[in-house]
Copies of this chain bind each other. A is one copy, B any other.
């Protein structure tokens, strides 16, 4: 699940980001409404979390925009003002749910998961991904290879999960940058190669090798050579 958080207060935004990340939920952030809007146009999020009070474009307007252009994406509104008018405004602008600050963090997580389930923008992740003797538990982020527990960092895990989801298909570096690193423009980085190397060290020391390089194209995860 991947969530966009549109919130101008950097502290609040980071609090939400950290919290969701540690719950295993992917997060992108926009710090004002206009940027939020262009991010929504360019990527597919499962849920959008919107602060009401923002410079540029306020939460209600952005919510209306989402509902007009991407009606399938559910929206949760956040506001510091717990008054009735705000709730009404929130519903009027089409928000699917509403949370008044300060809120219990757990509540945000529950509501996010509930919305994502109700409006399944993408197929839900299987609880368990496998390829031969490589096993990944997507809920706890635990990984085994040949019956041995392997510990991965967050980035390594994200990369492996993505490769597993597209196992048997060639995946380009640009695709990995987009989906694992959230980098959408062409930078001159070899970070993908570095992390593929890390992954190989951790899960591909034994035979048969699962990660294969396709020269000039990208990588592929599969059992046969």
* Chain A interfacial positions (CB closer than 8 Å to B): 11-12, 14-15, 18-19, 21-23, 84, 87-88, 91-92, 101-107, 110-111, 114, 117-118, 140, 153-154, 170, 172-175, 177-178, 184-185, 187-188, 215-218
Contact = CB atoms under 8 A, between A and B. Distances in A.
A112 to B, nearest CB: 11
A101 B187 CA distance: 12
Contacts of A107: 114, 118
8 contacts: A22-B173, A101-B185, A103-B184, A103-B185, A105-B175, A106-B175, A107-B114, A107-B118
A92 B110 CA distance: 23
B114 A216 contact: no
B84 A92 contact: yes
Nearest to A90: B87
Contacts of A174: 18-19, 22, 105-106
Contact of A84 (B19, B88, B173, B218): B88
A13 B34 CA distance: 46
Nearest to A216: B154
A217 B12 contact: no
A154 B214 CA distance: 11
A172 B22 contact: yes
Contacts of A102: 184-185
